[in-house]
C-alpha cells in the first residue's frame, strides 16, 4: 500500500526529464527535422525550399549511392569474417589455463581498440603509401617484390586495406566480449566432459560453441549496425580508384559538407538508414538467430 | 582435477605412453605460445613503426625500411606544431571528453534509476522507445542536427558536443539494469521513512550503490567521446577550438608530402593513450569485460 502510494507520485518523471529533453532536442528532433530536409533543396545559404520527392527520385537513379552501398557491404564482409575468426580463436586460446602472462596478451590485443579511428586510418594510409610506406619497404627488403605496389590505387587492394583497419580496430574488443562469455560458462560442465573422456575438440564443439551462441549473435548484430556506418578510417585512406572505397556515410558527408547539397545529403542519410535496417532484419532471419536470442 | 586425471590415466596406460602424451602436450603448448607471441608482435608492429619512422628525415623515410630510431624527431615536430596547434587540440579534446563523460554518467544513472525505481504511467512504453533508438544509426539526423545547432546559434561552441551526452540510450539501458540489480527497494523505503527527499535518496543511497558500474560505463563513454570526429569537424570552425582527431585529419591534408610531420602527429595521438593504458590496463580490461557480460 505504502509502496504503491510512493511509486505513483510523479518523481519518476523528474528523474527521466533531463534525458528526454536532451533526447528530443539533440536526438529525435534532428532525426525528424532531417526527414523534412530530405524533401527540400537546401544549399546552406538559402532557406530550404520544399521539392517533394525530387531528392528521392534522384537517389534511386544515383549510381554513386548504389556503388557506396556495394562498397560498404564488401568492406564489411572482408572485415567481419577474419575479425570474428581471429577474436574467437584468440579467446579460446587465452581461456586455456596454461597460458602465462594472459593479462599482457589481453592488453596488447585490445590496445588498437582504444586508438582513435582517424589515427588508425592515417596510420594505415602511411604504411601502405606506395612510395614511402613501410609495407612496401619491408617487402622490398625481404626480396618479395622488386617494384613498389600501388596499394591504394587498386580497387580490391584498397578495399581490403580499409577492411584491414576495421579488423585491426575491433578484433581485440570482440575477443574480450568472447572471453567474458567463456568465463560465464560453468566450470563443472568442462569437468564432467573431462571425466567422460571428451577430447578438447569435442568439448569445444559440443559445449563451448552452443553456449557461446548468444554472445556470437549479439556481436554479429551490433557489428552489422556499426560496420555499415564506417566513416572515419576510410575517409583518411581516401575514396580509392573510381570511388571503390567510398562508404555510405562518406557519400553522405561529401554530398552535404563538401558539395553543400544538404537536402540531398539528408536523403542519402535516410537511404543509408533503410539499407542498415534491411541488413539488420536479414541478420535476424539467419536460421537460429532469433530462436537462440530468446533462449 | 589434474590429479584425478593422472590417476585415471595411470590405471589404463603404460608409463611410456604417459611420458609420450606429456611430451606431446608440451610441444603443442609451446607452439601455441610462440604463435601467440608472434600475433602480439604483429599487433604492436604498426605502432613501433610509427614511433621509429617519426624520428627520421623525409629523405630517409622515402628511401628505406627504418627499424632503429633516428635523430630528426624534433625537426619533424617543430614543422608540425608551427602550423597545427596539436597540443591545444589535445587539451580541447580532454576538456570536452571529461565534461561529457561526467554529465553523461550522472544523467544516465539518474534516468536509469528513475526507470528502475518508479512505476510511473508510461514507464515501459518510454523505456521501449529508448531501446528502439539504440537501433537507429547515429548519423541519421546529422543534417538536421547541423541546421538546428546553427539556428540555436551554437555553431563553433562546445555546447552541441557536450549536451547530447545527457541522452545516451545505451548508458540509460545499462544503468536501469544496474539499478534493478544493485539498489534494493527496501533501502530506499527506509530513506523515505527518515524523511529524505527523493533526489537526496538517489544521491545518498542509489548513486553510491551504483558506483562500481559508473567506472565501467565511464570507460565506454570516454573512449567514444574522445574518438568523435564528424560532429566536431562540421560544428567547429576555429582551429584553436578544434579537437585532436579533426586536427590529425587536417595534418594529413596539410602535410601531404611531409611524411615526417604526419608520423609525428600520429605518435602524439598515440603516446598519451599508451601511457594511460599501460597504467590502467587491468582496470580498463576488467571493466570492458564486465560491460560485455551485462549487455
Which sequence spans correspond to the domains of chain A?
A: 54-294
Interface of B with A in 144-203 (CB under 8 A): 144-148, 160, 163-164, 166-167, 169, 172, 185, 189, 192, 198-199, 202
Beta A40-41 vs A49-50: how paired, if at all? antiparallel
Q: Which residue has the higher pLDDT, A293 or A163?
A: A163
Percentage of chain A with pLDDT > 70? 94
Helix axes B259-294, B169-182, angle to 10 degrees: 40
Of B49, B148, B169, Cβ closest to residue A127: B49
ipTM: 0.89
C-beta separation of A120 from A161 below 8 A: no
User: What's the confidence (pLDDT) of residue A291?
Assistant: 54
Report whether pLDDT(A295) > 50.
no
Q: Which residues of B touch A32 (CB under 8 A)?
A: 141, 144
A57-61, A138-142, A196-200, B84-88: range with lowest mean pLDDT: A196-200
User: What's the confidence (pLDDT) of residue B2?
Assistant: 45
A280 touches chain B (CB under 8 A): yes
B273 touches chain A (CB under 8 A): yes
Q: Which residues of chain B have pLDDT under 70?
A: 1-13, 294-295
Which residues, other chains included, contact A198 with Cβ-Cβ below 8 Å and sequence gap of 6+?
Answer: A206
Interface of B with A in 41-80 (CB under 8 A): 43-44, 46-47, 49-50, 53, 61-62, 64-66
Q: Mutation test of the interface with chain A: which of B292, B294, B295, choosing the one with the most A Cβ atoms within 10 A?
A: B292
Of B166, B266, B285, Cβ closest to residue A123: B266
Distances (CA, A) of B88 to A132, A177, B84, B222: 29, 35, 9, 19
B3 touches chain A (CB under 8 A): no
Report whether pLDDT(A294) > 50.
no
User: What's the confidence (pLDDT) of residue B174?
Assistant: 93
pLDDT digits (tens, 9 = 90+) for A228-254: 999 999 999 999 899 999 999 999 999
Of B40, B62, B110, Cβ closest to residue A105: B40
B259 touches chain A (CB under 8 A): yes
A7-16, A82-91, A143-152, A182-191: range with lowest mean pLDDT: A7-16
Identify the CATH class of B84-254.
Answer: mainly alpha
Q: Which residues of A touch B135 (CB under 8 A)?
A: 225, 277, 280
pLDDT digits (tens, 9 = 90+) for A37-51: 999 999 988 889 999
- Using only C-alpha atoms, what is the Rg of chain B? 27
**Cα(A167)–Cα(B269) distance, rounded to whole angstroms?**
20
A257 touches chain B (CB under 8 A): yes
pLDDT digits (tens, 9 = 90+) for B53-107: 999 999 999 888 888 999 999 999 999 999 999 999 999 999 999 999 999 999 9
- Give A11's pLDDT tier (boundaries 50, 70, 90): confident
Report whether pLDDT(A287) > 80.
no
Half-sphere exposure of B292 (CA within 13 A, CB side): 25
B91 touches chain A (CB under 8 A): no
C-beta separation of B288 from B84 below 8 A: no
- Residue in chain B closest to A131 (alpha carbons) equals B62
Helix axes B259-294, B244-254, angle to 10 degrees: 150
- The widest CA-to-CA distance across chain B, in whole angstroms, is 84
Q: Where are the domains of chain B?
A: 2-71, 84-254
**Average pLDDT for residues A57-86, to the nearest whole number?**
96
* CATH number 1.10.3720.10 given to A54-294: yes
Identify the sign of the CA torsion B152, B248, B222, A77. Answer: positive
- Give A5's pLDDT tier (boundaries 50, 70, 90): very low
Cβ <8 Å between B137 and A272: yes
Amino acid at each position: 500500500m505504502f509502496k504503491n502510494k510512493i511509486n505513483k507520485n510523479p518523481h519518476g518523471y523528474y528523474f527521466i526529464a533531463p534525458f528526454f529533453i536532451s533526447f528530443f532536442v539533440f536526438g529525435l528532433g534532428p532525426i525528424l527535422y532531417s526527414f523534412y530536409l530530405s524533401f527540400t533543396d537546401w544549399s546552406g545559404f538559402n532557406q530550404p525550399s520544399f521539392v517533394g520527392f525530387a531528392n528521392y527520385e534522384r537517389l534511386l537513379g544515383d549510381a554513386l549511392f548504389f556503388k557506396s552501398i556495394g562498397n560498404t557491404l564488401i568492406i564489411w564482409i572482408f572485415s567481419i569474417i577474419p575479425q570474428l575468426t581471429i577474436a574467437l580463436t584468440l579467446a579460446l586460446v587465452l581461456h586455456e589455463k596454461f597460458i602465462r602472462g594472459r593479462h599482457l596478451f589481453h592488453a596488447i590485443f585490445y590496445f588498437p581498440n582504444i586508438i582513435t579511428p582517424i589515427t588508425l586510418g592515417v596510420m594505415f594510409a602511411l604504411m601502405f603509401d606506395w612510395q614511402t610506406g613501410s609495407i612496401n619497404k619491408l617487402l622490398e627488403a625481404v626480396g618479395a617484390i622488386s617494384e613498389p605496389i600501388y596499394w591504394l590505387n587498386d580497387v580490391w587492394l584498397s578495399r581490403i586495406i580499409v577492411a584491414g583497419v576495421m579488423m585491426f580496430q575491433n578484433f581485440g574488443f570482440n575477443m574480450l566480449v568472447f572471453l567474458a562469455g567463456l568465463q560465464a560458462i560453468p566450470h563443472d560442465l568442462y569437468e564432467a566432459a573431462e571425466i567422460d573422456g571428451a577430447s578438447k575438440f569435442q568439448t569445444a564443439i559440443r559445449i563451448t560453441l552452443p553456449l557461446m551462441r548468444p554472445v556470437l549473435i549479439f556481436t554479429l548484430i551490433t557489428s552489422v549496425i556499426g560496420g555499415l556506418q564506417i566513416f572515419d578510417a576510410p575517409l583518411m585512406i581516401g575514396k580509392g580508384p573510381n570511388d571503390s572505397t567510398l562508404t555510405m556515410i562518406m557519400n553522405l558527408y561529401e554530398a552535404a559538407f563538401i558539395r553543400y547539397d544538404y537536402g540531398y545529403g539528408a536523403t542519402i542519410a535516410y537511404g543509408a538508414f533503410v539499407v542498415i535496417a534491411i541488413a539488420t532484419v536479414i541478420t535476424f532471419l539467419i536460421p537460429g538467430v532469433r530462436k537462440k536470442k530468446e533462449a | 582435477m589434474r590429479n584425478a586425471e593422472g590417476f585415471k590415466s595411470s590405471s589404463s596406460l603404460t608409463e611410456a605412453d604417459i611420458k609420450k602424451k606429456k611430451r606431446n602436450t608440451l610441444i603443442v603448448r609451446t607452439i601455441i605460445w610462440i604463435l601467440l607471441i608472434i600475433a602480439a608482435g604483429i599487433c604492436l608492429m604498426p605502432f613501433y613503426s610509427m614511433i621509429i619512422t617519426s624520428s627520421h628525415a623525409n629523405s630517409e623515410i622515402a628511401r628505406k625500411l627504418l627499424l632503429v630510431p633516428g635523430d630528426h624527431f624534433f625537426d619533424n615536430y617543430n614543422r608540425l606544431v608551427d602550423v597545427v596547434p596539436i597540443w591545444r587540440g589535445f587539451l580541447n579534446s580532454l576538456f570536452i571528453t571529461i565534461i561529457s563523460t561526467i554529465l553523461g554518467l550522472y544523467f544516465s544513472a539518474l534516468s536509469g534509476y528513475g526507470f528502475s525505481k518508479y512505476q510511473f504511467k508510461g514507464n515501459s512504453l518510454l523505456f521501449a522507445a529508448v531501446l528502439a533508438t539504440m537501433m537507429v544509426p547515429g548519423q541519421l539526423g546529422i543534417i538536421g542536427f547541423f541546421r538546428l545547432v546553427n539556428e540555436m546559434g551554437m555553431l563553433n561552441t562546445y555546447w552541441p558536443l557536450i549536451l547530447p551526452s545527457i541522452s545516451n540510450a545505451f548508458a540509460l539501458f545499462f544503468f536501469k539494469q544496474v539499478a534493478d540489480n544493485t539498489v534494493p527497494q527496501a533501502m530506499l523505503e527506509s530513506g523515505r521513512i527518515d524523511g529524505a527527499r527523493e533526489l537526496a535518496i538517489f544521491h545518498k543511497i542509489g548513486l553510491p550503490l551504483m558506483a562500481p558500474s559508473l567506472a565501467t560505463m565511464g570507460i565506454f563513454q570516454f573512449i567514444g567521446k574522445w574518438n568523435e570526429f564528424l560532429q566536431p569537424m562540421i560544428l567547429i570552425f576555429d582551429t584553436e577550438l578544434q579537437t585532436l582527431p579533426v586536427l590529425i585529419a587536417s595534418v594529413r591534408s596539410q602535410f601531404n608530402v611531409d611524411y615526417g610531420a604526419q608520423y609525428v602527429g600520429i605518435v602524439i595521438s598515440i603516446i598519451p593513450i599508451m601511457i594511460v593504458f599501460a597504467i590502467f590496463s587491468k582496470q580498463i580490461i576488467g571493466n570492458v569485460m564486465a560491460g560485455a557480460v551485462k549487455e
